A = this chain, B = another copy of it.
Amino acid sequence: MAATIRDVARASGVHVSTVSRTFSAPHLVNTETRNRVLAVAEDLGYRPNRAARALTTGRTHNIGLIVADISNPFFPPLIKAAQAHARARDYHVFVADTDEDPQVEEELIQTLAKQVDGVLLCSPRLSNRVIERLHADVPFVVVNRRVKGMPTILMDIGQGARHAIEHLAGLGHRRIALLSGPTGSWTSGEMCAAAAAAEGVEVVILGPNAPTERGGLAAAAEVLASGVTGVLAYNDLVAIGLIEGLYERGVRVPGEISVVGVDDIVSGRLNRPKLTTVAMPTAAAGRMAVDLLLHSFGDGATPTLATLETSLVVRESTGEAQK
């Protein structure tokens, strides 16, 4: 059907190896010959078959990107940044969604393993043990999880959580709830650790909660029952859902309860009240993840750990604690 390298060779009167070199090592072929081959190739609509090339070179020039849930607005900026960055380096990024299911995640990695040069694992739900085992099949860069001996990008959510709690404490809140996330989430663990270490305020941990608006909505009753005046939610979606749940129960935010989210997604800026949140450097993380992965192809270099800073963005969903 489509033209192959042999068709081009035949039509331009040279050997296939010359055609091959015309595309993968142009400096090795005579300018005149090269132009002729290129013209014929253009004419026949020939494009090198990347899959076939990968078979011999062992390089697909593809990168896999695995996320827990594409519909969480946290991920798209990371995905887009990674794609743009990779494209500029002649790599392509394929995205797959695990639906928060570790089983699916593992299967996806297996499938991807032979079709990409490396995988970006974003907020994985798998256990470290399984991740280490799968690492034999394909290089990883792990985002938002700490796995021994693997290139890793962390967003410093511990620091972010501390800032958020201090912010609430500064507004006079003495009893705060932390809405934790999914069980397998490293981020959630870090937040809980930060909460446990907080001084001067009492933090109750509620959860685990689904990392979605629905999860936040469902947590509203529990939050009210716990008698807190401030809440730090696992992420912005949970925060937005919670605010809606409180609103339905006639509780005003930030009047009666203050809410802080995490991620700084776009719709947090457009909801009312505008969400106070811990901004995550998602785009930077996406770019850096690609860099780390490509770099790891170069040599058997030491795995790297990059920690990116987070920052608190104060908007309208937090205010003075009620007396």
Which chain A residues have a beta carbon within 8 Å of chain B's beta carbons?
2, 45, 47, 49-52, 54-55, 60, 62, 70-71, 73, 76-77, 79-80, 83-84, 87, 92-97, 99, 104, 108, 110-111, 113-115, 136-137, 213, 240-241, 244, 247, 266-267, 270-272
Nearest to A82 among chain B residues (CB) is B97
Residues on the B chain within 8 Å of A247, using CB: 272
A139 CB to nearest B CB, Å: 11
Q: Please name all residues of chain B whose beta carbon is closer than 8 Å to the beta carbon of A95 when the two chains form the complex.
A: 70, 94-97
Partner of A270, one of B71, B97, B213: B213
B residues in contact with A50, CB < 8 Å: 111, 114-115
Q: Are B99 and A84 in contact (CB under 8 A)?
A: yes
Report the Cα distance A96→B86, complex, angstroms.
12
In the bound assembly, the distance between CA atoms of A77 and B97 in angstroms comes to 11
Between A and B, 10 residue pairs with Cβ closer than 8 Å are: A2-B136, A49-B114, A51-B60, A52-B55, A70-B95, A83-B97, A84-B99, A87-B104, A95-B96, A271-B272
B80–A76 CB distance below 8 A: no
Alpha-carbon distance between A73 and B55 when the two chains are bound, in angstroms: 37
Return the contact of A240 from the options B92, B104, B241, B270 (Cβ within 8 A).
B270
Let me know if B79 and A97 touch, CB within 8 A. yes
For the A-B complex with A50-B111, A92-B96, A213-B266 known, give 5 more contacts whose Cβ atoms are closer than 8 Å. Answer: A2-B137, A47-B137, A50-B114, A93-B96, A95-B96
Collect the chain B residues with CB atoms within 8 Å of residue A104's CB: 87
Q: Which of B47, B60, B92, B270 contacts A244 (CB 8 A)?
A: B270
Q: State whether A51 touches B241 (Cβ < 8 A).
A: no
With A70-B80, A73-B71, A114-B51 as given contacts, are A272 and B270 in contact (CB-CB < 8 Å)?
no
Smallest beta-carbon distance A296→chain B, Å: 15
CB distance from A17 to the nearest CB of B (A): 19
Residue of B nearest to A79 (CB): B70
A54 partner residues in chain B, CB cutoff 8 A:
51
Give the docked Cα–Cα distance between A77 and B72 (Å).
11
A86 → B minimal CB distance (Å): 11
Q: Give chain B residues whose Cβ lies under 8 Å from the Cβ of A99.
A: 80, 83-84
C-alpha spacing A87/B101, complex, angstroms:
13
- With a cutoff of 8 Å between Cβ atoms, the chain B residues found around residue A2 in the complex are 114, 136-137
Q: Are A115 and B114 in contact (CB under 8 A)?
A: no
Q: Is the CB of A270 within 8 A of B271?
A: yes
